[in-house]
């Protein structure tokens, strides 16, 4: 297909602006503690070698959630194809840190190159990917076209675009058709998104419904030593968890905790904000509510305080292990929710606000399975937590439903891996 004028203009603009964007991106990574040599991966300068004589399968994801969602899939594809090697790219320092601790065999991580001619050509020339799997909404025009031009097979999985993004692509039908036509297969999260892709001029015969890959993720990692220290400090106190909260939600959570303390004076709230850099502001909210706190990033243990502010990354697995009453944030404000599978993988049900449009079908399934309860304000949140803590029959039934739900989803990993292997024409690599 002939490139539309808008694509040519975009290529020209990125070629001119690449020094500016490179400065911004490397500065951001350096501020997050990424070594300068790794920050330069954004410019296509690889810091690892292409290993092995088998095919290289490149997975590209945007950030933490998308990156973690494909690790189990990579592991299963690697099990079926022992000669294959894998590359996973993402854009943030947080995702790199999280992925580094969970890399499957024969897999390396690199930061994704900027969507500009120079960085992309350097990247593709070094890695020579045989196949590429893009995750969710990663539709960078040059990355897609240059990768396609290299001869690599390409799939978009877990495809999901916001209504705003859909409208923007629909206003540029020629460019949308040019970009989406790079894919050999587009697997969406649901039927509605499949139709949206076709409406955006994706080739209808290459669009199909898949599943939400986040349901295939492995359980979050736990640290036995950390858990032992926390439990010793708690001395038998009960805990409820508010995880991945955003600005405007902590106030609601803290009011709910104040209500709970009236009848449960020894109860601890373990509060884990989505963005740990907001720790100082959240600590002030705790103080304003008249509650006492200890802070994880300072190396403190909860002791006898009202709140334990867990302002660190990569420890949600520990916190989920401490309680069966877990509220998942990003849901009391119009943010769209966060991955509820991580909670059910811990064997617990989910308490959630109503704003979960990014996971609407998932929450519908979970509601039917009996593993989620929705709340709208601090009073309802306090009531839901109180019931989960004090109603033994409800707690056991919800935990049992969560485990059954997880078993049903995890069995699909092998099926999805096989589907991708066939779509990428890698059947000869299966042993």
58 phi and psi, to 5 degrees? -100, 125
What's the whole-number mean pLDDT along residues 252-275? 97
Q: Is 225 a catalytic residue?
A: no
208 phi and psi, to 5 degrees? -150, 160
CA atoms in the 13 A half-sphere facing the CB of 296:
25
What are the C-alpha distances in Å from 282 to residues 87, 177, 239, 268? 37, 45, 19, 16
In the chain, what is the straight-line distance between the N-terminal and C-terminal CA atoms, in Å? Answer: 37
Catalytic-labelled residue, pool 41, 66, 138, 342: 66
Of 51, 58, 15, 39, nearest to 144 by C-alpha is 58
Question: For residue range 284-305, what is the model confidence (pLDDT) as tens digits?
Answer: 999 999 999 999 999 999 999 9
Residue 232: partners with Cβ closer than 8 Å, 6 or more residues away? none
Q: Which two tokens stand for residue 355?
A: 């704003």
β-bridge partners, 267: none
**Is residue 64 predicted with pLDDT exceeding 80?**
no
Q: How confident is the model at residue 66 (pLDDT cuts 50, 70, 90)?
A: confident
Residue 349: partners with Cβ closer than 8 Å, 6 or more residues away? 324, 326, 343, 370, 371, 372, 373, 388, 398, 399, 401, 402
Residue 234 has what pLDDT? 96
What's the whole-number mean pLDDT along residues 273-285? 95
79 phi and psi, to 5 degrees? -65, -40
- Between residues 94 and 372, which one has the greater pLDDT? 372
Q: Are 268 and 238 in contact (CB under 8 A)?
A: yes
Query: Which stretches does DSSP call E strand in 315-424?
Result: 326-328, 350-352, 372-374
CA distance 19 to 387: 56
What are the C-alpha distances in Å from 306 to residues 235, 280, 302? 14, 17, 8
Q: At what angle do helices 173-180 and 5-31 cross, to 10 degrees?
A: 60
- The per-residue pLDDT of the chain, averaged, comes to 92
Q: Which two tokens stand for residue 6?
A: 């808008």
Q: At what angle do helices 163-170 and 173-180 cross, to 10 degrees?
A: 110
**Is residue 215 predicted with pLDDT exceeding 80?**
no
Q: Is 237 helix (H, G, I), strand (E, B) or coil?
A: coil
CA distance 345 to 216: 10
Residue 374 has what pLDDT? 98
Q: What kind and span of H or E run contains 132?
A: strand 131-135
Question: For residue range 120-167, what is the model confidence (pLDDT) as tens digits?
Answer: 999 999 999 999 999 887 789 999 999 999 999 999 998 888 788 888
**Is residue 330 predicted with pLDDT exceeding 90?**
yes
Q: Sign of torsion, CA 6 8 12 17?
A: positive
Residue 332 has what pLDDT? 97
Weakest mean pLDDT among 158-162, 196-200, 418-422: 158-162
pTM (2 d.p.)? 0.80
Of 297, 323, 302, 305, nearest to 242 by C-alpha is 323
Q: How confident is the model at residue 362 (pLDDT cuts 50, 70, 90)?
A: confident
């Amino acid at each position: 297909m002939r490139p539309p004028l808008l694509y040519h203009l975009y290529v020209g603009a990125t070629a001119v602006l690449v020094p500016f964007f490179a400065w911004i991106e490397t500065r951001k990574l350096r501020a997050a503690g990424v070594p300068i040599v790794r920050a330069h991966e954004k410019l296509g300068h690889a810091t690892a070698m292409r290993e092995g004589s088998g095919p290289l399968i490149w997975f590209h994801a945007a950030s933490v959630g998308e990156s973690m969602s494909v690790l189990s899939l990579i592991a299963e594809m690697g099990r079926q194809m022992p000669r294959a090697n894998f590359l996973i790219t993402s854009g943030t320092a947080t995702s790199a840190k999280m992925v580094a601790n969970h890399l499957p065999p024969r897999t390396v991580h690199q930061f994704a190159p900027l969507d500009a001619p120079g960085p992309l050509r350097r990247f593709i020339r070094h890695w020579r990917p045989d196949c590429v799997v893009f995750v969710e909404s990663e539709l960078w025009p040059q990355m897609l076209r240059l990768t396609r031009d290299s001869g690599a097979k390409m799939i978009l999985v877990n495809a999901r675009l916001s209504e705003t993004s859909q409208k923007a692509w629909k206003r540029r039908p020629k460019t949308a058709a040019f970009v989406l036509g790079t894919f050999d297969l587009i697997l969406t999260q649901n039927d509605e998104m499949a139709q949206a892709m076709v409406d955006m001029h994706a080739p209808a015969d290459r669009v199909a419904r898949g599943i939400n890959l986040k349901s295939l993720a492995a359980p979050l990692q736990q640290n036995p030593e950390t858990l032992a220290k926390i439990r010793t400090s708690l001395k038998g106190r009960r805990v409820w968890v508010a995880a991945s909260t955003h600005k405007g939600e902590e106030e609601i959570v803290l009011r709910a905790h104040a209500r709970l303390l009236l009848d449960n004076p020894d109860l601890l709230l373990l509060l884990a904000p989505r963005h740990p850099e907001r720790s100082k502001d959240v600590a002030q909210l705790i103080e304003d509510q008249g509650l006492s706190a200890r802070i994880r990033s300072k190396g403190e243990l909860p002791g006898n305080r009202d709140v334990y502010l867990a302002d660190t990354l990569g420890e949600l697995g520990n916190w989920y292990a401490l309680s069966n009453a877990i509220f998942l944030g990003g849901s009391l404000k119009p943010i769209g929710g966060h991955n509820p599978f991580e909670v059910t993988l811990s064997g617990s049900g989910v308490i959630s606000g109503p704003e979960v449009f990014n996971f609407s079908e998932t929450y519908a399934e979970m509601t039917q399975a009996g593993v989620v309860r929705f709340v709208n304000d601090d009073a309802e949140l306090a009531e839901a937590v109180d019931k989960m803590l004090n109603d033994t029959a409800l707690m056991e039934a919800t935990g049992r439903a969560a485990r059954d739900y997880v078993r049903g989803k995890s069995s699909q990993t092998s099926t999805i891996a096989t589907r991708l292997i066939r779509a990428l024409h890698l059947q000869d690599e299966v042993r």
